[in-house]
Amino acid sequence: MKDSAYKKRISADLEVKLESIDFILVSELQKFGPFGVGNPSPVLISRNVRVESTNNISDKHISFRVTDDQSWKNCIAWGMQRNPLLRKDKIINISYTAEIESYQGVSAVRLNIKEVW
């Protein structure tokens, strides 16, 4: 059997560069909602991004920032704190849903990570 038969397949709706992910794109994607069973949130992929910084939220979760040297985005990865790819300066591919988070009156785009490879 070929090695490719054992590779995990990542399913996504669109591949995008980090610079394309902004308030306008996220607002347009939200028009496909409401999301839930039978209508999942659109999943995006960005390739060859570098982990710029990390912050452990707990022994299970991690927040981090990725860059492609043109743009950067804040990310959250639930249950992935121990993933060896989520370390400073690692070059990774990510699949995620994009969302707008608000904290203390400041809004920003955040990537909710689904897969890392």
Please write the tens of the pLDDT for every residue from 30-61: 999 999 999 999 999 999 999 999 999 999 99
C-alpha distances in Å from residue 88, one per residue of 23, 43, 49, 80, 110: 26, 24, 11, 14, 18
Tokens 């981090």 sit on residue:
64
Q: Output the pLDDT for position 3.
A: 56
Q: Output the pLDDT for position 2.
A: 58
pLDDT of 4 above 60: no
**Percent share of the chain, pLDDT over 70:** 93
Q: Which residue has the higher pLDDT, 9 or 78?
A: 78
Q: Output the pLDDT for position 11.
A: 83
Look at strands 44-56 and 106-116 and give their pairing: unpaired
